[in-house]
Structure 1
Amino acid sequence: MDKETFLNIIKGELIVSCQALEDEPLHGPEIMAKMGLAAKIGGAVAIRANSKEDIIAIRKETGLPTIGIVKREYRDSDVYITPTFKEVQELIESGTDVITLDATLRKRPQGINFRELVSFIRKNSNCLIMGDVSTVEEGKKAVLDGCDLISTTMSGYTPYSRHLDGPDFELIKELTSSINIPVIAEGRISTPEDAVKALLFGSHSVVVGTAITRPQEITKSFVKKIHHARKIV
């Protein structure tokens, strides 16, 4: 899918992140594919997904465009979202429309340079490239390094970014006013009102994950508030 078509599809719309790690009950391509289908039926226009297997299953089940990542930890770095060429190659093989890279300023595993990954993707695929950032500085650098889109996903996940209970609306505003590529709002967007606010602040589209597709976390939030209310009654 070409860049203009993809951006038109997602503009002003909801993208749902369908992810479940190995230690979570819903882990597995078949379950994530059904989660993606449920999101499609609900009106999602694209799916963000983790792992080659999940992406292939979700694309087959839904027919929706995908934003792909591979989460993998390495001992020599805190970067875990598509950190090396290995993960990039897996995403190319998945057929995903967008490859997402951690675009923070932190050191990557194996001494790999961010621009090297961007160059590899350009030479070996037609995938768009999204940079997950935590600050405006990182967003500006990701633009210079060749990203097609920027996401606010990493706000609160780097030691030098804002650590908030809710979405980083300030970062959304700062990025949309200072860079010339689409900004995707993602991170702690928990309600429809949050999503609308992110769009009003200039984001091209909105990604929601935990609040829709992680029942254990949704349950935990209810239990936490109920227990807190019990203590003060």
Structure 2
Amino acid sequence: MLKNPIPALHHRLIVSCQAPTDSPLHDPLIMAAMAQAAVLRGATGVRIDTPSHVKAVRLQCPTTPIIGLWKQQLSGCEVYITPQFHHAGAIATAGADIIAIDATLRERPEGEKVETLISQIHTELGKLVMADVDTIESAIAAAAAGADLVGTTLYGYTSQTQHLVPPGFELLAQLVEKLDVPVICEGGIASPQMAQDALKLGAYAVVVGAAITGIDKQVQAYQQAISGAHSPSDFVQ
């Protein structure tokens, strides 16, 4: 682990390099190249899913702070971002400096507690923890449980917040006011101006994913817009 990578992230860009599991881009070497390209163009940190991808990125970016996670869909459980300690362990072994976990107030697998998971990551893995939250209540609980960073990552992606649309600037402002730990703005940042706005609201750093690296989502959005705006006859010349 890098020695306390958090200060290096202050007021900087973190690029999330991920791809859907059914995408040709979901490959360790491709994610590593994507992360390296982001770092070469100025990103200070990267956020990476899946142990093999984290390992590949670490090889290409040996000194770059990596926020690692492992998305796992567990039966009967809505929590999916690094849900259990053994998932965190795999990410730590792969080379992540910070482990991102779902820190919402939803029921966790096998009744485990967020505070227990954070404590284990600190004491047994020697890694820092980024708590991905959806509400002010879950953020306060995560900070009290020992999270080193709190992110707005799950705003708009839980049943409690599904009626809300990221970015969670209102939530961000609340977290900055209420918490003593750094607050990361993540989710829905779709332009450089929005990233600037997040920093002005007090974000410690900004994570940008789909707007930079989400080729699958970007192509789908363009295609849907084009298909919806024209009938096939519009293209006949």
Normalised to the residue count of structure 2, the TM-score between the two structures is 0.92
Q: Deviations over 1:171-211 (max 9, x none)?
A: 11111011111000000111111111111111000001111
Q: Report the 3-state secondary structure (helix = DSSP H, G, I; strand = E; otherwise coil) of the residue aligned with 1:17.
A: strand
Question: 2:129, 2:79 → 1: CA distance?
Answer: 17
Alpha-carbon separation, structure 2, partners of 1:164 and 1:195: 19
1:161 aligns with 2:157: no
For residue 230 of structure 2, give the secondary structure of its aligned residue in structure 1.
helix
1:162/1:168 contact within 8 Å kept:
no
Is 1:80 equivalent to 2:53 in the alignment? no
- State the one-letter code of the partner of 2:73: E
1:166 & 1:94 partners in 2: Cα distance? 30
Could you tell me how far apart the structure 2 residues matched to 1:92 and 1:7 are? 16
Tell me the distance in 2 between the aligned counterparts of 1:227 and 1:20.
24
TM-score for both structures, normalised by structure 1: 0.94
> Partners in 2 of 1:230 and 1:20 — Cα distance?
29
| Mapped contact 1:155–1:163 kept (Cα < 8 A) | no
Alignment check: 8 A CA contact 2:85 2:121 kept = no
CA distance in 2, matches of 1:227, 1:200: 37
Report the equivalent of 1:183: 183
Cα distance between partner residues in 2 of 1:168 and 1:144: 21
Structure 2 partner of 1:2: 3
What CA distance in whole angstroms lies between the structure 2 residues aligned with 1:92 and 1:35?
21
String of CA shifts for 1:42-79, please: whole Å, max 9, x gaps.
21111100011111110111221100000011113100
Q: Does 1:16 align with 2:15?
A: yes
- Which portions of structure 1, spanning 4 or more consecutive aligned residues, are displaced by more than 4 angstroms? none
**Other-structure match for 1:125:** 125
RMSD: 1.5
Structure with bigger gyration radius: 2
SS of alignment partner, residue 46 of structure 2: strand
The gaps in structure 1 that reach 5 residues or longer are none
> Post-superposition shift, 1:228?
4.1
- SS, match of residue 73 in structure 2: coil
* Offset at residue 162 of structure 1 (A): 5.7
Aligned pair count?
Answer: 230
Residue identity opposite 1:215 in structure 2: I
Q: Spell out, residue by residue over 1:133-174, the C-alpha distance to the aligned partner (whole angstroms, 9 max, x if none).
A: 000111100011000000000001111126344411101111
